[in-house]
């Protein structure tokens, strides 16, 4: 059985504890209502949504982001974009993937964001301790050995986070599909301090 709960010692952090035929020693969650003792994590999310919807009232928003900004960021669980950037519901587009890499699909989203939904600024956010610094393009070979097929996509692993932010900015600025490439800024989010560090595009 797997229990999902909010840890006492690391509030706000989702941890997984595997318990077989016994109770966990850390079974007292910071928020008792956050604990589930049966079902999957998805069941838990669906339950949370019922509470969310019960308190929800239609804000009557347009789909166009209020701040006319799109944020491209790593999917890392420690990066709470809205909290870290002071964003409210409806303020921005958030486009996330492993690494916050500007892939063709990110360009697709940015193109729709700019041309159909009115955004004009792009903010790129990588972070310290990213998983993409810990692997290499050899991951594709590992996959081929494991499953008999090499993925068509690049891993987009990197060694220097600052350089990868610069490359990301360059990919956005040089995309022929985007109409707003003047206000493109890149940052590294420090997962220990919560601070953004801006990267000089030069
Ligand atoms: Zn990351």
Per-residue pLDDT band at 201 (split at 50, 70, 90): confident
Distance (Å, rounded) from C-alpha 57 to C-alpha 144? 48
pLDDT at 34: 58
Domains of the chain: residue spans and CATH: 2-54 (no CATH), 69-199 (3.40.1050.10)
Expressed in angstroms and rounded, the spacing between residue 33 Cα and the centre of ligand 1 is 29
> Is pLDDT of 15 > 80?
no
Q: Name the phi and psi angles at 96, rounded to 5.
A: -130, 145
Distance (Å, rounded) from C-alpha 23 to C-alpha 15? 15
Give the 3-state secondary structure of 109-134.
Answer: HHHHHHHHHCCCEEEEEEECCCHHHC
Expressed in angstroms and rounded, the spacing between residue 38 Cα and the centre of ligand 1 is 31
Expressed in angstroms and rounded, the spacing between residue 166 Cα and the centre of ligand 1 is 16
> Is pLDDT of 19 > 90?
no
Q: 94: which strand partners?
A: 71
Q: What percent of the chain has pLDDT over 90?
A: 80
Expressed in angstroms and rounded, the spacing between residue 186 Cα and the centre of ligand 1 is 14
Distance (Å, rounded) from C-alpha 138 to C-alpha 142? 6
R_g (Cα) of the chain, nearest Å: 20
CA angle 80, 84, 88 (to 5 degrees): 85
Displacement of CA 86 from its chain's centroid (Å): 16
Expressed in angstroms and rounded, the spacing between residue 133 Cα and the centre of ligand 1 is 8
Expressed in angstroms and rounded, the spacing between residue 146 Cα and the centre of ligand 1 is 24
- Quote the strand ranges of 54-106, DSSP E: 69-74, 92-97
Expressed in angstroms and rounded, the spacing between residue 76 Cα and the centre of ligand 1 is 5
Expressed in angstroms and rounded, the spacing between residue 60 Cα and the centre of ligand 1 is 33
> Is pLDDT of 171 > 50?
yes
CA angle 43, 45, 48 (to 5 degrees): 110
113 neighbors 119 (Cβ within 8 angstroms): yes
Per-residue pLDDT band at 31 (split at 50, 70, 90): low
Q: Give the global pTM.
A: 0.80
The DSSP code for 200 is P
Expressed in angstroms and rounded, the spacing between residue 129 Cα and the centre of ligand 1 is 7
Expressed in angstroms and rounded, the spacing between residue 96 Cα and the centre of ligand 1 is 10
Expressed in angstroms and rounded, the spacing between residue 127 Cα and the centre of ligand 1 is 6
Distance (Å, rounded) from C-alpha 146 to C-alpha 141? 9
Per-residue pLDDT band at 20 (split at 50, 70, 90): very low
């Amino acid at each position: 059985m797997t229990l999902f709960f909010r840890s006492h010692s690391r509030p706000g952090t989702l941890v997984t504890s595997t318990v077989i035929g016994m109770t966990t020693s850390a079974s007292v969650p910071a928020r008792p209502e956050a604990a589930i003792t049966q079902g999957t994590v998805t069941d838990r999310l669906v339950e949370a949504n019922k509470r969310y919807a019960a308190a929800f009232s239609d804000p009557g928003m347009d789909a166009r982001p209020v701040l006319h900004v799109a944020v491209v960021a790593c999917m890392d669980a420690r990066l709470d974009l809205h909290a870290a950037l002071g964003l409210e519901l409806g303020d921005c587009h958030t486009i996330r993937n492993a690494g916050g890499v500007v892939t063709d699909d990110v360009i697709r989203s940015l193109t729709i964001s700019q041309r159909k939904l009115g955004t004009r600024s792009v903010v790129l956010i990588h972070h310290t301790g990213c998983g993409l610094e810990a692997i290499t393009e050899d991951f594709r070979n590992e996959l081929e050995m494991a499953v008999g097929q090499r993925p068509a996509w690049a891993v987009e692993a990197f060694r220097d986070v600052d350089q990868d932010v610069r490359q990301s900015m360059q990919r956005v600025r040089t995309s022929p599909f985007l109409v707003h490439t003047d206000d493109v800024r890149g940052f590294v989010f420090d997962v220990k301090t919560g601070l953004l560090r801006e990267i000089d595009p030069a």
